[in-house]
Amino acid sequence: MKKQLLFLGAPGAGKGTQAELLSQTYSYLHLSTGELLRKEIEMNTILGKEVKAIMNRGELVSDELVLKIVRQNLNKDNKGWILDGYPRNLSQANSLNEVLIEINQPLEVVFYLDIPEEVLIKRLLLRGRKDDNEETIRTRVNIYKKTTEPLIQYFKDLSLLEYINADRDLKSISAEIKQKMA
């Protein structure tokens, strides 16, 4: 059973939903950089104040900051982990590689959740999170295409990529993921 997983995909592809389901089933750590940053905002910490406006605009916060969060959470004691929302660009992918070498826990599989743009826009508008308005969604999708999408090829070249059609019901997606983890 694979224990070191990563979810890649556009905003609204279902990364968080699937990662949460899996983390509950297998007691793995669900490490969502977006979720951790939103908690900082909720708690009104210095970090939260620093990132609030950036996140509300749908832009990426700095690589250094998210790396710090990842380092704080990934360690040798984790029974397994699922990264969701990290890495988002090549620089973050390289940093992640260094961290994983340090803790001697290599990435085992990357699930790429593929979804048509019109479906993700509908899903996000329905959800209505603070950054789920039309303008911000457009920014997030554009940044995703420009900086995150190249990681699909990056992980393909490392023979880690598993393609998942994410435009289906939750259960079918999760069943396929579990099968591919075995």
User: Residues interacting with ligand AP5, by CB under 6 A?
Assistant: 9, 11-17, 33-34, 37, 54-55, 58-61, 66, 85-86, 88, 92, 123-124, 127, 131, 140, 169-170, 173
- Closest distance to ligand AP5 from the beta carbon of 105 (Å): 19
- Taking alpha carbons only, the member of 81, 101, 86 closest to residue 147 is 86
- Closest distance to ligand AP5 from the beta carbon of 169 (Å): 6
- Closest distance to ligand AP5 from the beta carbon of 104 (Å): 22
Mode of pairing for the β-strands spanning 161-165 and 81-84: unpaired
Between 55 and 110, CB nearer to ligand AP5 = 55
- Closest distance to ligand AP5 from the beta carbon of 130 (Å): 10
Between 37 and 177, CB nearer to ligand AP5 = 37
Between 129 and 156, CB nearer to ligand AP5 = 129
Residue nearest ligand AP5, CB atom distance: 34
Instruction: Please tell me whether the peptide bond between 150 and the residue prior to it is cis, using omega within 30 degrees of 0.
Output: no
CB 144 within 8 A of CB 42: no
CB 163 within 8 A of CB 110: no
* DSSP code string of 83-143: EES---SHHHHHHHHHHHHHHT----EEEEEE--HHHHHHHHHHH--TT-SHHHHHHHHHH
- Closest distance to ligand AP5 from the beta carbon of 2 (Å): 20
**CA angle at 175 for the pair 154 and 177, rounded to the nearest 5°:** 15
